[in-house]
Structure 1
Amino acid sequence: MAKFAIGEKVDNAVGNHDAGTVIAVFPTVEGNLRYAVDMEGYGALQFFAEDKLVVHAG
């Protein structure tokens, strides 16, 4: 089961903690989940493993 839902606001847990919105959740070949996140201000999707995201703080 996915930790984050499509449409949920999340923050990058590492680096500069940018915020974004989950737009897709999909499994890898190994069975792990990956999240496609529309990061605010970048105009492109970024893909994250579940442990690299946290619920948006603000």
Structure 2
Amino acid sequence: MDLRSAQTPNDFVHEDISEYVAQLQLHMALQARNLVPTLTKAVDSREQLLQQTQATLEKLASRQAV
């Protein structure tokens, strides 16, 4: 007896839904990759933020009375 032939209609619906959800998750993951900036852009923005923060701290430190 074939395992596939022993399945009920509900099993087929469940498999179809599971397959649809898996394909939807893959599609969403691929779409999300297009929305997220590339790693080099993220590194550049973090580096820029670090430089701005360092410059601000140096300005504040230089203006403090000794």
Confirm or deny a common fold (TM above 0.5): no
Larger gyration radius, structure 1 or structure 2: 2
Decide which structure has greater strand share: 1
Work out which structure has the larger RCO, using CA pairs closer than 8 Å and 6 or more positions apart in sequence: 1
TM-score by length of 2: 0.15
